[in-house]
């Protein structure tokens, strides 16, 4: 807060938002200051918690007039430090948590209008109650919010079938950096009216304004589903299995996730009740999830036929099929708990990268070898969304190494992985975003006209540079 007017602005914000709408007690600020990975810890004079869009707009106007920078925050599950303030103590955190209403759901239009602070799991539940599906699904869905998943253009487990958050958004309501409200909550499948402004705010990570509500696209609920965990011979056969399923029925695959033996081992050892329904440990696993909206889709015969073929070819070494809802959930848990298990095992460096789907085996193999050469004893833990080309090429510290010494090598590790990603025609940021962690990579990967246009867009929409400074753009 600028020194010349701390009290007047705080007083005005307090009067506007009321006692529930502004936090200043250090204990209340605490959960808003550090990111999930504990990479960053910032300071803020207060956390604003507006109750609705109009209140947020008025608060933004007051802060804009005082030149105060703002940091939007949803569930604070960012993997790249996107939702926390810097160490300077001037940036004000704005939590969208109280904008948590589902305003409307329409099973004929197949749309839901949800406010930014609605938790992703709650949005899925509301859709289910109306007999529909909101298909976005990720490990942090019990905490991540609609505003957050749109602002990062989150992907998750079902991108292979339903696309990223962007593909699930039809319209937006936004509070712009000057406090104006833009109501673009149109629920249209076709709307060619000039530049598609709504898409600018998706993936902008809060640098262009606040998403306050969104029209989300719903789908029919599957009537049948199957989940299997397969131990695979190697990375290539993991991808070959994906192809076998796709060749049989392109519409059947809802998720296709790769896991390494190291990651599955962490899960079994470090997560409560973490059991793996296969008797012999393997170096490579995939989780395949099939789903169909047709009642007679025959997913079980399809699953069994493909697995049998791949077993005979020596590609699948062993497989377990979930026989009940509980068993299917238990298989999914092995995958979903990977980030938590890695956190418990000590320091890790994450590389959220993507390559063309066909190159995922090469990425996993080459990046693992290169990192082992770089840091002897390092433990590669590649896992993730093989079906859409997004591998979390994560590295765990060597056993017994000082975590700080390992993290000091983060830059070298990321460079090593990224060199291979570049060679394979991939991207250094697939679904987590740039946040604060990767701003220094933007010039090297997106420099030239692409970055210059982004900077011009930023200046046009946020001329004072008050929205989430220090994030995304270098
Ligand atoms: P926050 O972390 O609060 O914010 C994220 C960014 O969006 C920040 O830059 C913030 O300033 C901005 N922002 C938040 N709300 C708004 C708003 N209303 N308007 C404007 N800007 C806003 N991501 C994936 O894509 N796929 C995964 O599979 C996945 N798995 C995860 C698993 C775990 C265990 C965790 C901790 C995270 C995972 N993530 C994943 C990362 C994370 O990006 C997502 O959880 C989610 O997109 C973030 O939502 P959030 O509400 O927590 O946003
Ligand atoms: C996930 O898919 O679980 C996360 O996006 C990956 C991670 O923790 O690196
Ligand atoms: Zn992921």
Mutation test residue for ligand 1: of 48, 93, 135, 138, the one with most atoms within 8 Å of CB:
138
Atom of ligand 2 nearest to the CA of 338: 3
- For Cα atoms 416, 445, 450, give the angle at the middle one, nearest 5 degrees: 175
The pLDDT value recorded for residue 339 is: 97
Atom of ligand 2 nearest to the CA of 350: 9
Percent of the chain with pLDDT over 90: 97
pLDDT at 312 over 90: yes
The pLDDT value recorded for residue 341 is: 98
Q: In the predicted model, what is the mean pLDDT of the chain?
A: 97
pLDDT at 5 over 50: no
pLDDT tens track for 368-417: 999 999 999 999 999 999 999 999 999 999 999 999 999 999 999 999 99
pLDDT tens track for 224-239: 999 999 999 999 999 9
What would the 3-class secondary structure string for the chain be? CCCCCHHHHHHHHHHHHCHHHEECCHHHHHHHCECCCCCCECCCCCEECCCCHHHHHHHHHHHHHHCCCEEEECCCCCCCCCCCCCCCCCCEEEECCCCCCEEEEECCCCEEEEECCCEHHHHHHHHHHCCEECCCCCCCCCCCEHHHHHHCCCCCCCHHHHCCHHHHEEEEEEECCCCCEEEECCCCCCCCCCCCHHHHHCCCCCCCCEEEEEEEECEECCCEEEEEEEEECCHHHHHHHHHHHHHHCCCCEEEEEEEEHHHHHHHHHHCCCCCCCCCCCCCEEEEEEEEECCCCCCHHHHHHHHHHHHHHCCCEEEEEECCCHHHHHHHHHHHHCHHHHHHHCCCEECCEEECCHHHHHHHHHHHHHHHHHHCCCCEEEEEEEHHHCEEEEEEECCCCCCHHHHHCCHHHHHHHHHHHHHHCCCECCCCCCCCCCCHHHHHHHHCCHHHHHHHHHHHHHCCCCCECCCCCCC
* Pocket of ligand 2 contains residue 350 by CB under 6 Å: yes
Mutation test residue for ligand 1: of 31, 75, 83, the one with most atoms within 8 Å of CB:
83
Distance 72 CA to ligand 1 centre (A): 11
Mutation test residue for ligand 2: of 348, 392, 395, 410, the one with most atoms within 8 Å of CB:
392
Domain limits, the chain: 7-95, 102-220, 224-338, 346-433
Ligand nearest to the CA of 354: 3
Distance 432 CA to ligand 1 centre (A): 7
Atom of ligand 2 nearest to the CA of 336: 3
Confidence of residue 195 (pLDDT cuts 50, 70, 90): very high
The pLDDT value recorded for residue 173 is: 98
Mutation test residue for ligand 2: of 384, 395, 413, 433, the one with most atoms within 8 Å of CB:
384
Distance 297 CA to ligand 2 centre (A): 31
Pick the CATH number of 7-95 from 1.10.3720.10, 3.90.1170.50, 3.30.2010.10, 3.30.43.10: 3.30.43.10
Confidence of residue 295 (pLDDT cuts 50, 70, 90): confident
* Pocket of ligand 2 contains residue 394 by CB under 6 Å: yes
Task: Give this prediction's pTM.
Answer: 0.97
Pick the CATH number of 346-433 from 3.40.50.920, 3.30.70.1450, 3.30.70.2740, 3.30.300.30: 3.30.70.2740
Question: What are the backbone dihedrals phi and psi of residue 252, each rounded to the nearest 5 degrees, phi first?
Answer: -80, -30
Distance 441 CA to ligand 3 centre (A): 20
What number is the average pLDDT over the span 34-56?
A: 97
**Do 97 and 118 contact (CB within 8 A), yes or no?**
no
The pLDDT value recorded for residue 208 is: 98
What number is the average pLDDT over the span 132-153?
A: 98
Q: How far apart, in whole angstroms, are the C-alpha atoms of residue 189 and residue 122?
A: 24
pLDDT at 97 over 70: yes
User: Is 3.90.700.10 the CATH number for 224-338?
Assistant: no
User: Is 3.40.50.2000 the CATH number for 102-220?
Assistant: no
ipTM: 0.99
Task: Please identify every residue whose CB atom is under 5 Å from ligand 3, which is an ion.
Answer: 384
224-338 has the same fold as 7-95: no
pLDDT at 462 over 80: yes
* Pocket of ligand 1 contains residue 145 by CB under 6 Å: yes
pLDDT at 7 over 80: no
**Do 195 and 210 contact (CB within 8 A), yes or no?**
no
Distance 467 CA to ligand 2 centre (A): 26
* Pocket of ligand 2 contains residue 263 by CB under 6 Å: no
* Pocket of ligand 2 contains residue 384 by CB under 6 Å: yes
- CA–CA distances in Å: residue 100 to residues 128, 146, 359: 17, 9, 41
Distance 309 CA to ligand 1 centre (A): 39
């Amino acid at each position: 807060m600028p020194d010349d007017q701390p009290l007047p602005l705080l007083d005005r914000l307090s009067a506007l938002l009321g006692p529930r709408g502004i936090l200043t007690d250090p204990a209340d600020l605490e959960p808003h200051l550090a990111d999930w990975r504990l990479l960053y810890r910032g300071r803020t004079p207060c956390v604003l918690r507006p109750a609705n869009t109009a209140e947020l707009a008025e608060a933004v106007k007051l802060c804009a007039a005082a030149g105060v920078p703002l940091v939007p925050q949803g569930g604070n599950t960012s993997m790249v430090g996107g939702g926390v303030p810097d160490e300077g103590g001037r940036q004000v955190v704005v939590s969208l948590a109280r904008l948590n209403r589902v305003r409307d759901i329409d099973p004929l239009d197949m749309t839901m209008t949800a406010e930014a602070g609605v938790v992703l799991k709650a949005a899925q539940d509301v859709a289910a109650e109306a007999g529909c599906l909101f298909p976005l699904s990720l490990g942090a869905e019990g905490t991540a919010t609609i505003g957050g998943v749109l602002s990062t253009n989150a992907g998750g487990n079902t991108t292979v079938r339903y696309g990223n958050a962007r593909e699930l958004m039809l319209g937006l309501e936004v509070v712009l950096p000057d406090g104006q409200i833009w109501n673009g909550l149109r629920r249209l499948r076709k709307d060619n009216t000039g530049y598609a402004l709504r898409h600018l705010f998706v993936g902008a990570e809060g640098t262009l304004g606040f998403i306050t509500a969104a029209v989300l696209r719903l789908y029919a609920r599957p009537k049948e589903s199957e989940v299997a965990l397969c131990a695979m011979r190697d990375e290539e056969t993991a991808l070959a299995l994906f192809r076998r399923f796709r060749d049989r029925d392109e519409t059947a695959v809802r998720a296709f996730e790769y896991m390494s033996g190291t990651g599955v081992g962490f899960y079994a050892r470090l997560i409560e009740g973490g059991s793996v329904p296969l008797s012999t440990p393997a170096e490579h696993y995939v989780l395949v999830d099939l789903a169909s909206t047709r009642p007679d889709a025959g997913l079980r015969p399809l699953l069994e036929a493909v697995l049998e073929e791949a077993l005979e070819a020596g590609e699948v070494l062993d497989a377990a099929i979930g026989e009940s809802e509980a068993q299917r959930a238990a298989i999914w848990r092995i995958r979903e708990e990977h980030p938590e298990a890695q956190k418990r095992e000590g320091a890790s460096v994450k590389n959220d990268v993507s390559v063309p789907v066909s190159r995922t085996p090469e990425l996993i193999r080459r990046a693992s070898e290169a990192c082992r050469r770089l840091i002897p004893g390092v433990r590669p833990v590649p896992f993730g969304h093989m079906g859409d080309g997004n591998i979390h090429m994560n590295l765990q510290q060597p056993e017994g190494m000082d975590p700080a010494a390992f993290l000091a090598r983060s830059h070298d590790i990321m460079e090593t992985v990224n060199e291979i990603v570049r060679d394979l025609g991939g991207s250094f940021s697939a679904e987590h975003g740039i946040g604060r962690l990767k701003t220094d990579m933007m010039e090297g990967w997106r420099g030239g006209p692409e970055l210059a246009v982004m900077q011009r867009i930023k200046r046009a929409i946020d001329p004072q540079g008050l929205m989430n400074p220090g994030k995304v753009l270098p």
